[in-house]
């Protein structure tokens, strides 16, 4: 009996090859999502998308295809390189292969529909916030000033509109130095770029690259405050991936008093902070950020003012 | 014509002797046929496969070495001077010379002299392709000699229908060549063990020398031969040792230990001067090799500890499943035989009998199965160590594949045996119908592997087997999608349609020398100008690997948009994104 079973099992082995062929045909034909389905999904999302909605592609590896078909502004820089999802009221998850993004855990699914081989799920933020100001938007010569401090001396860092410096052949190459940037003595700069975070996600943020000792101060003008200062900090992946004892501090102050300090530990990845500012609700004024200990790391931060529930 | 001459038996002509040899032993011809067909397939598909980073470096080295060979022909005295050797052979001296020399000689003969190949790259690549032919031929011969002709054919088919092997077999690199030489060396050693005699022993020394000269994996071969020789000759050795007389070391091992290193030195001009320091440098380079980035299960590894599961998971994910199933069947069968032999041997040594095996297995003086398992174990063994770099993907243990294929061949023998038995119990098949049935079973087994291999081109490193979901399944699992930037050529149709002469393109992970060759051979629009940074480029590309997201995001910073103009995909999975610098007024 046992021998018979073995004989039949061995005789059935060619079935493995046949199944392999069938699977191959399926995976290379009917499973592949055609461009027309992506385009149809884009049109469907576009019809309903509001400015404070997010578009997410699932799985993450499909993101380039999603960006290609959805384009700006649906899949623009602010959505793609967001600091996190909390600022968005709803998310349109554009999914293939039954994938679901882990960032949406805890969000309520409001609807779901299929467009060809693409599934569009609409998810609602369980704790929506009201955003007042995104500091990244203020990185302009009109709204921001930068200076470098070294002991008692302070030197201003003028804004320059120049060519960027984006890597070379091969990796790692460090973050691109943006063309529009505040340039300080010794090669330090402050400017907006996209951070490659430890988890390989993109984050639009303010790079602060102080060269040598001292600290950098950034003043954002006419900031509309809410009940909280919500932000993140991180270091470019190639540095962050090797944990160290280094600490980079980001101290915020406004109206001549400190609001709080975020300390970034190299190796922690893109990490968030929340500084409560209930007494500043409705006020407008300058916000100063002082960054210490970033040299020679490729440090980046972002923050917004918001009302939290 | 005198009567004496007519009475003399006629000497057989060369053709007649060849026919006679084929009649007596058709295996070399069958193996040669398989090899020739495969090399023809490689040649037919070479033009559509772009150039990897390493190929670019080897093209350059081969072009340099070619100058030396030309000098050697024209002014041998001058070529042998240190001032002629060192500047040329310093190029890419971290790898031995054999393959790069063959690339150079192939270019001299097949491109410059005979003009057979239109592309310089095909002339450089041709020796690598021939090495794949050699690997198939030896695998067939080994299978046919060790198990059966059917097992030999299936072993060669199994090896040829591995998408990763098919990819690497196109390249002017060393991975397939070392696979071929590793297998040849073991085969020749095995024949030396079976046949005995000085000529096989000398052949061992010669082939081992060439293997050393191919790639550093060869230094691991003693770990195959020494334990095997100990098992085969241990008894005789201990007998001689106990008598205090000279220990009879197999002549094949002696030849490998003497002729092998001599050939290694002789064929590598770089080692002709400052020999010891340069050997030290060569060893140090490989012992302290950099760790490069490689994604595995969603995480990029860039140094030790390497995950122990990398090698087994990648084998399961990239070697066609039918091949692995047949290998397992064959491996279990041969392990069972090995174990039975061991039990019989133990029984004799201990003077007691065991219940199993009831019938002693046939003796195999050459311990073929042990040799096959050692060949697999030594090739795979380093990859269970956490210090072993894993950046090369499957190519670093490619030397195991011919032996996995051999056992798959044996597995097919068993499967066909069962099917034939079942058929015989139900119907009577004549010889030709039996052959057709056998072929049908072969097609059923390998149809999927064949389709997968054909479809994988020219994205061999993106390809994963259907049972893990194909290319998309590999992406779902977070497995590496490519390395070496060879996929750039696959953008050609889009670049033809969407770029203008004179436009600049940042070509990212493609080596500069590879890019130059792509342009020279008009594989991409020759009017494009390659640049080394997105900041200088109208168009920028990113080869999708997890750690290269950095480049992707740098392009976003530079171009201020995350929207690619085009995404090259394979089965819907992004391989390369192309960005075009937006022509908008600068300023936020």
Q: How far is CA B542 from CA B431, B457, B509, in A?
A: 57, 20, 8
Q: pLDDT tens for residues B513-525?
A: 999 999 999 999 9
Q: pLDDT tens for residues A250-268?
A: 999 999 999 999 999 999 9
Residue A23: list chain B partners with CB under 8 A.
Answer: 448, 466-467, 470
Is B69:B109 a contact under the CB 8 Å cutoff?
A: no
* Nearest of A45, A295, A23, A75 to residue A186 by alpha carbon: A295
Give me the pLDDT at residue B6, please: 57
Asked if the model's pLDDT at residue B18 lies above 90, the reply is: no
Q: Do A175 and B557 touch (CB under 8 A)?
A: yes
pLDDT tier at A69, thresholds 50, 70, 90: very high
Q: Do A179 and B418 touch (CB under 8 A)?
A: no
In degrees and rounded to multiples of 5, residue B563 shows phi and psi of -95, 115
**If you search the block for the tokens 């944990």, which residue do you land on?**
A243
Q: Report the C-alpha gap between A199 and A255 in whole angstroms.
A: 36
Asked if the model's pLDDT at residue B7 lies above 70, the reply is: no
* Nearest of B399, B67, B65 to residue B215 by alpha carbon: B399
Is A71:B580 a contact under the CB 8 Å cutoff?
A: no
Q: Do B325 and A168 touch (CB under 8 A)?
A: no
Residue A300: list chain B partners with CB under 8 A.
Answer: none
Q: Do A17 and B419 touch (CB under 8 A)?
A: no
The least confident of B187-196, B421-430, B468-477 is B421-430
Of B448, B511, B533, the CB nearest to A168: B533
DSSP B123-192: HHHHHHHHHHHHHHHHHHHHHHHHT-HHHHHHHHHHHHT-HHHHHHTTSSSSHHHHHHHHHHHHHHHHHH
For B440-457, what is the mean pLDDT?
A: 98
At a CB cut-off of 8 Å and minimum separation 6, what does A114 contact?
A: A120
Residue B573: list chain A partners with CB under 8 A.
Answer: 61
* Nearest of A1, A4, A5, A8 to residue B415 by alpha carbon: A8
Asked if the model's pLDDT at residue B586 lies above 50, the reply is: no
Q: pLDDT tens for residues B353-407?
A: 899 999 999 999 999 999 999 999 999 999 999 999 998 899 999 999 999 999 9
Q: Report the C-alpha gap between B229 and B588 in whole angstroms.
A: 74
Asked if the model's pLDDT at residue A216 lies above 50, the reply is: yes
Q: pLDDT tens for residues B159-182?
A: 999 999 999 999 999 999 999 999
Of B419, B549, B574, the CB nearest to A11: B419
Residues 323-352 of chain B with CB under 8 A from chain A are: 325-326, 329
Q: Report the C-alpha gap between B420 and B416 in whole angstroms.
A: 6
Asked if the model's pLDDT at residue A151 lies above 90, the reply is: no
Give me the pLDDT at residue B587, please: 40
Q: Report the C-alpha gap between A307 and A229 in whole angstroms.
A: 9
Residue A178: list chain B partners with CB under 8 A.
Answer: 557-558
- In sign, the C-alpha dihedral spanning A282, A285, A287, A288 is negative
Asked if the model's pLDDT at residue A53 lies above 70, the reply is: yes
Give me the pLDDT at residue A152, please: 81
Asked if the model's pLDDT at residue A187 lies above 90, the reply is: no
For B298-305, what is the mean pLDDT?
A: 95
Q: Do A17 and B445 touch (CB under 8 A)?
A: yes
For A216-235, what is the mean pLDDT?
A: 97
Q: Report the C-alpha gap between B7 and A6 in whole angstroms.
A: 63
B483 contacts chain A (CB < 8 A): no
For B81-91, what is the mean pLDDT?
A: 97
Closest CA–CA distance from residue B509 to any residue of chain A (Å): 5
In degrees and rounded to multiples of 5, residue A170 shows phi and psi of 90, 170
A160 contacts chain B (CB < 8 A): no
Residues 108-147 of chain B with CB under 8 A from chain A are: none
Q: Do B414 and A59 touch (CB under 8 A)?
A: no
B467 contacts chain A (CB < 8 A): yes
Q: Do B512 and A169 touch (CB under 8 A)?
A: yes
The least confident of B95-104, B176-185, B579-588 is B579-588
CB atoms within 10 A of CB B75: 12
For B318-345, what is the mean pLDDT?
A: 97
The per-residue pLDDT of chain B, averaged, comes to 95
Tokens of A199: 């988890």
Give me the pLDDT at residue B1, please: 43
Closest CA–CA distance from residue B510 to any residue of chain A (Å): 8
Give me the pLDDT at residue B2, please: 45
For B10-19, what is the mean pLDDT?
A: 87
The least confident of A40-54, A90-104, B244-258, B260-274 is B244-258
Q: pLDDT tens for residues B527-561?
A: 999 999 999 999 999 999 999 999 999 999 999 99
Residues 258-297 of chain B with CB under 8 A from chain A are: 293
Q: How far is CA A227 from CA A87, A133, A259, A277, A281, in A?
A: 14, 12, 12, 5, 5
Asked if the model's pLDDT at residue B246 lies above 80, the reply is: no
């Amino acid at each position: 009996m046992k021998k018979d079973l073995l004989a039949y099992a061995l005789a059935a082995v060619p079935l493995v090859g046949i199944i392999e062929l069938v699977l191959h045909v399926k995976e290379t034909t009917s499973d592949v999502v055609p461009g027309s389905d992506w385009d149809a999904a884009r049109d469907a999302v576009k019809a309903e998308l509001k400015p404070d909605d997010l578009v997410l592609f699932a799985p993450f590896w499909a993101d380039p295809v999603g960006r290609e078909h959805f384009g700006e502004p649906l899949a623009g820089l602010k959505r793609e390189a967001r600091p996190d999802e909390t600022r968005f009221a709803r998310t349109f998850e554009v999914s293939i292969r039954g994938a679901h993004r882990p960032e949406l855990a805890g969000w309520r699914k409001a609807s779901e529909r299929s467009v060809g081989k693409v599934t569009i799920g609409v998810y609602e933020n369980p704790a929506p916030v009201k955003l007042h100001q995104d500091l990244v938007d203020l990185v302009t010569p009109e709204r921001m000033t930068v200076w470098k401090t070294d002991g008692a001396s302070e030197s201003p860092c003028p804004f320059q509109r120049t060519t960027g410096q984006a890597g070379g052949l091969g990796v790692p190459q460090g973050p691109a130095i943006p063309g529009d940037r505040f340039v300080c003595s010794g090669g330090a700069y402050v400017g907006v770029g996209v951070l490659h975070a430890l988890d390989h996600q993109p984050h639009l943020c303010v790079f602060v690259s102080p060269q040598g000792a001292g600290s950098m101060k950034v003043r954002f003008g006419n900031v509309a405050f809410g009940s909280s200062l919500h932000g993140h900090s991180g270091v470019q992946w190639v540095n962050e991936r090797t944990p160290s004892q280094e600490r980079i501090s980001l101290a915020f102050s406004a109206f001549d008093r400190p609001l709080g300090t975020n300390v970034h530990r190299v190796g922690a990845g893109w990490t968030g902070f929340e500084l409560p500012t209930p007494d500043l609700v409705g006020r407008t004024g300058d916000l100063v950020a002082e960054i210490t200990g970033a040299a020679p790391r490729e440090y980046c931060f972002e923050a917004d003012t918001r009302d939290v529930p | 014509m005198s009567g004496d001459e007519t009475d003399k038996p006629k000497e057989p002509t060369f053709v007649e002797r060849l026919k006679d040899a084929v009649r007596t032993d058709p295996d070399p011809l069958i193996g040669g046929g398989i090899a020739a067909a495969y090399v023809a397939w490689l040649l037919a598909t070479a033009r559509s496969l772009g150039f990897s980073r390493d190929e670019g470096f080897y093209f350059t080295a081969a072009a340099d070495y070619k100058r030396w060979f030309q000098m050697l022909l024209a002014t041998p005295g001058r070529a042998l001077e240190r001032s002629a050797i060192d500047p040329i052979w310093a190029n890419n001296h971290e790898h031995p010379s054999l393959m790069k020399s063959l690339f150079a000689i192939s270019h001299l003969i097949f491109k410059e002299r005979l003009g057979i190949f239109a592309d310089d790259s095909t002339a450089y690549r041709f020796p690598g392709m021939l090495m794949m032919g050699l690997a198939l031929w030896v695998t067939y011969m080994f299978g046919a000699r060790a198990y059966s002709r059917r097992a030999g054919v299936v072993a060669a088919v199994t090896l040829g229908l591995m998408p990763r092997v098919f990819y690497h077999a196109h390249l002017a690199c060393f991975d397939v060549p070392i696979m071929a030489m590793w297998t040849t060396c073991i085969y020749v050693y095995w024949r030396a063990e079976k046949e005995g005699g000085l000529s096989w022993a000398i052949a061992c020394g010669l082939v081992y020398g060439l293997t050393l000269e191919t790639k550093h994996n060869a230094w691991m071969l003693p770990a195959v031969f020494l334990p095997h020789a100990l098992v085969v000759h241990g008894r005789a050795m201990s007998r001689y040792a106990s008598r205090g007389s000279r220990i009879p070391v197999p002549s094949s091992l002696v030849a490998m230990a003497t002729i092998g290193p001599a050939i290694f030195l002789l064929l590598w001009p770089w080692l002709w001067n400052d020999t010891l320091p340069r050997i030290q440098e060569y060893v140090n380079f490989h012992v302290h090799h950099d760790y490069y980035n490689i994604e595995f299960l969603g995480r990029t590894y860039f140094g030790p500890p390497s995950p122990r599961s990398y090698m087994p998971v990648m084998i399961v994910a990239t070697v066609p499943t039918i091949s692995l199933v047949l290998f397992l069947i064959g491996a279990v069968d041969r392990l069972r035989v090995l174990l039975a032999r061991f039990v019989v041997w133990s029984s004799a040594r201990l003077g007691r009998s065991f219940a199993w095996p009831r019938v002693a297995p046939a003796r195999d003086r050459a311990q073929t199965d042990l040799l096959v398992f050692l060949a697999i174990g030594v090739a795979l063994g380093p990859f269970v160590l956490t210090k072993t770099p894993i950046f090369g993907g499957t190519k670093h243990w490619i030397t195991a594949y011919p032996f996995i294929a051999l056992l798959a061949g044996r597995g097919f023998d068993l499967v066909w045996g069962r099917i034939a038995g079942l058929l015989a119990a139900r119907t009577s098949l004549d010889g030709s119908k039996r052959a057709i049935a056998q072929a049908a079973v072969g097609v059923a087994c390998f149809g999927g592997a064949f389709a997968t291999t054909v479809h994988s081109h020219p994205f061999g490193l993106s390809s994963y087997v259907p049972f893990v979901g194909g290319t998309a399944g590999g992406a779902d699992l977070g497995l590496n999608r490519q390395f070496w930037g060879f996929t750039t050529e696959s953008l050609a149709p889009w670049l033809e349609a969407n770029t203008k002469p004179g436009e600049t393109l940042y070509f990212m992970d493609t080596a500069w020398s590879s890019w130059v060759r792509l342009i020279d051979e008009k594989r991409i629009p020759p009017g494009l100008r390659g640049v080394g940074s997105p900041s200088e480029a109208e168009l920028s590309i990113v080869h999708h690997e997890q750690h290269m997201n950095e480049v992707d995001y740098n392009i976003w910073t530079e171009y201020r948009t995350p929207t690619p103009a085009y995404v090259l995909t394979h089965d819907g999975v992004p391989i390369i994104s192309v960005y075009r610098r937006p022509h908008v007024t600068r300023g936020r």
